Structure 1
Amino acid sequence: MPMEKIADYKYALDESSIIAITDQKGIINYVNDNFCNISKYTAEELIGQDHRIINSGFHSKAFIKDLWKTIANGNVWKGELKNKAKDGSTYWVDTTIVPFLDEKNKPYQYVAIRSDITDRKKGEEELKKILKEISDYKYALDESAIVAITDQKGIITHVNDNFCKISKYSTEELIGQDHRIINSGYHSQEFIKELWKTIAHGNVWKGELKNKAKDGSTYWVDTTIVPFLNQDGKPYQYVAIRSDITERKEGEEQIKANNIKAIEHAQILELKNTQLVDFCNIVSHNLRAPLINIAMLVDFVEQSEDEEEKSEALAKIKPVVNHLMDVFNELVESIQVKQDTEVDVDTIILEDCLAKILRGFETQIEEYDAQIHIDLSEANSIYFPPKYIDSILSNLISNALKYKSPHRNPVIHIKTQKTEQDSVILSVADNGLGIDLVMHKDQIFKIRKTFHKHPDAKGFGLFMTKTQVEAMNGKIWAESEPGKGTTFFIEFKKLQS
């Protein structure tokens, strides 16, 4: 090849690439201007130095060893290297190292031809970070929410595990199906039409939906549907993000039912008040004449001096009094309304009461291999409404079994203790999941307050227990530690038997 052409190739290479030449030991004996510019060293600072002067320490020893093994065997090495400049900054280069061989086929120098790929690598790193962040968001969403993706026609293309759990369908049963597979029929056609109109126009829809699971049961979800738009601004898919609000909606329904009952009770009370007023009016009207008659006869007896006249008057008083009693009894009997305003209270033998209640939990106790320890040595009886104590003990024992630890068999201790004020304190202690009282503080007995995920958790048991205890002027409190268990204490005030 003519020397002029070789010079032209070298010039083109020097202009376009980062060039360095080292001997077989890696000692630099040539660098071009591009090498100096990117490494921020002068040629004088580089010539005679070991090529490790620009080693960033990013690559492993095994990586560098493999590189040297390749070129030392006379083979070309290609790859990406992260180097360090004089000022400590780093840069990436796409590198080709060519061994120049002597007559014995042994390398006597290496020519490294590089191109700067720092910006590309930064872009790749940024992309990795973005993808990682997106992956983290997706993971967080999948863990916390019920997620489904459909195409623009409503055909399901993706569901997460939470969607399968609440709908009771498998992924295979859902993918490719129309989203109407979970339509409960609860919402009107106008409601559904308005929903589709909103998202079809590229707008986010938010609301509450009642859906139907595979087994026919229904559930409520708080829903946000986000349209994903193509370059023309038209939706090509919809992402529906939901959260389960079934318990809240059931609570609202219960409140509605309770309100209806309250209205009914108010109406009954109003009727009773009306009856009471009517009763008073009737009493006033029907008893006035007999009472006036008695008063007149008494006055006559007091004023009369004739004994025979007094005897006649006294004889007339008795039938009038008898008539008065008959009228009164007839009035009471005619408008008396049967009411159960007072709960029945009785002496409760706790040993018998517990035996009866525990029989109802025999299956669970055997299944969980639970141990029940009872110590009623200080007090075996209380004076309390039977239906209340049955409810209280059932709730506390049920909770102790329901919220058992997955790491150990349940152990329940039921104990009584007498106080100086002659009250009885009953404690029910378990070794279950426990409650974080620092977090929940005074909310432990609030209605619809739950502390652990369980299909039967409704948040009514402790509320009802507290209501029943306080209705009889008692006290209830708890001590608990997460992961170790909970102890409930109930103080039964001494009631007059």
Structure 2
Amino acid sequence: MNWFFANLHDRKRRLMILGIIMGALVGIVSLVSTLVLGYTSLKEQQQLLSDLVSSQITYIENFDRRYMDSPASMRERTPLAHTIDVAAMAQSRYRSAGGSARFCIARKKGGKIRFLVRDSKRVASDDPDAEKNFRAQQDRPMARALESQFGRTVAPNVSGNWAVMAYGPIVTRSGVLGMVAYIDLLEFLRPFAVAVAVCFAVGALLVVASLYLFFRISDPVLRALQESEREYRELVEGANNIIVRILRNGTIGLANRYAHDFFGMDQLVGKSAREILTSEKDERSIFDFSVGQKGQVAVEALAVRRDGTEAHISWAVRPVLDEDGSVCELLCIGVDVTPRYVAMQARREVEDRFRAIAKASPVGIVITDVHGNLVYANEKMHDMTDSYAAQMAGMGWMRHIHDRDRGAMKEFWVGNTGRDSASRLELRLLRGETVVWALVQRVSLRNRQGEKVGYVLTFTDVSQIKEAEARHKRLTAAIDQSAEIVIITDAYGVIEYVNPAFERVTGFSREEALGQNPSILSSGEQSEEFYADMWNTILRGDVWSGRFVNRRKDGSTYEQESTIAPVREEDGTIVNIVAVARDVTEQLALEAQLRQAQKLESIGELAAGIAHEINTPTQYVDSNLHFLETSFATLMKMTQGCIEVLEQARQSPDASDVVASLNEIMDKDEVEFLAEDVPGALKESLEGVQRVAEIVRSVKQLAHPGELKMAMHDMNEIIRNAVTVSTNEWKYASEMHLDLDESLPPVLCLKGEMSQVVLNLIVNAAHAVEERLGSSPDPKGDIFVRTREEGEHIVIEVEDTGVGMPESVVARVFDPFFTTKDVGKGTGQGLAIAHNVVVLVHGGTIDVQTEPGQGSTFCVRIPIEHPDMENVSSV
């Protein structure tokens, strides 16, 4: 600033130099603009000349063709002469119309150029200038035209003056002519020279006027600058900030009064700025003259007050440039910001603690202003939305809220602007292609004046909770809609939950059942031991499955199939018991009917064989009865004869006549025959009757509807009855071999159901043998039926030497309605029912071992006494 005021007396000299520079600039600008304009106009004029030449050539060539195509009688002159006349006339008309271009037309004659038209006029044949050297510089454009070239150039014309030219060939039937059109260059440039002179004159006048006005105005401005300097000094001295100027050598050139008081020195000028203005602890060089390349800079540094304490000074450093643009001084203004620095440090520590807490927080945190613009979002929030800071900036974080929840979020925000209490909202966040459920809590932020300045929102990921709730709802809905009975009790058997199926089946409402024990359904048909065993199984942590009879609220009973399992905590403690059950009363009745129908079907299939088995003993009983009838008649005849002889003997004294009569009546051979055959006939008839009775008894036992409860039965007797009934099925193709363990204990079973199982196995074995060997083979096949005791089970084996089964058939052999027999010979229900009876009813197993072409063995294992089956009815 001092340098500026010290050089005010040079203002006039500087104004003169400025005027000269401005005048020179005006002249240069005028000249350059004129040259550019002239060059542009020259190019445009060349293009116009080229277009003009092309149009003239086209006109002449067209006229030449029309003239040559006209009848010879109409041609008064030679084609060339006529063409030259037409060209001269056309160019003359062009000049008359105000055209500035001139034209020349010539033809090549020998090694020279013969001009035919010059300056739009015909050239006389005796004109001494009519012919020119072909290579003369002035005629080069014409020479190029005669060589069939088009072009444009700036060159001397036929008069030796520089001109703007365009040229091209005229192709006629008399030969090639050349055409050149030109405009004198001096004539073309004359307007531009005048324009340059006018522009320069006007510019010079403007420069002079500007300098005069500037000089007239600058005097009050200079006085104003002097006044400004005075005010500036007063401002600097009265400022409550440190103001210093640092010279290029690093010393202080100026310091205000506040700087002297702050640093406690009477004289700062000439002192080292680094030693005075910064603390020894601060290694930074803040008063670097390289700031001239950076412009004004702001920096904070430590300084030492007059009392020796350190202060934080915020410096604004601005460079002062000299005439060369180099930094000659630094103007430094310092503000003591120690209180603010201490407050900022405390705030920074609080912010650091907050950021650490927010970074480690398991919930997303968003801080916004009152308009919803993002101020801060922690890492958890970025992770929950799979976004980065730039995407969340402004209102961008709202784009990560699901479209369907965005309106609710805005309403949640706007609708709660007057409240300070925390508010909650559940919504969905978008994390890429996935959805994250979050619980949002909002708290208002207020400043010290109580004005609302923003909001803090926390986003807690509740996706797993929502998923668990959804699963719970689905599970509850499924249980409520389930046809199965569901009962949940605590560990002590107190009912905590029943589903609608329970109410529908038992007649007890949910309110009546809750808090009760499942014993309210007890029918009394199961023993105490049965329930004790069931509870022991459950409390051991095992799953219990079985059937028992329950009683409804109205007193009626129903049979229930249940699966009961304990629910454990992580430590293994049983906290609940879950029972899933279903009413199988109707199912059991239908299955019993199905099995009875299958029994009757089996009897129907065996009816012909049974009839045959009964027919054989019946026939010989009938034959023997006829024999006994005849024998009886003979005996009666003999007896009657004997009676008559005895009467005669009483009346006749001669005994010889009596003897003769007796001999005649009593045929010795006949008597011997009757004595021999009658006892045998009687015995045979008795055996036949017994056989029929046995068959009828076996059929009756097989066809009996069955028992309602299990009882102890002789399994060997069941097998023998089945063998008897099925005799006609196996006797023609097989030999029956019974290997029965007579020491077998009675078995707890349903006799009718087990009879059906054994009968199905024997009949299937007979059919398998017949399929392999035929209906009457010799020798016959074999069927072996064995029984034995294995531990707590009895084993029944039915082995045949039949056709066997492949693996594909074995895999489905117990499936309902699966059969390999021909249509009409089987329904596919026999083995399925056998499996159901053995496994589900009696708790046993049924297996098959087979080899194709060799035969099959079915093995049935049934427990002798099964505690769980003690009260089970027929299935």
TM-score by length of 1: 0.44
Structure number with bigger Rg: 2
Larger RCO of the pair (alpha carbons < 8 Å, separation 6+): 1
TM-score by length of 2: 0.27
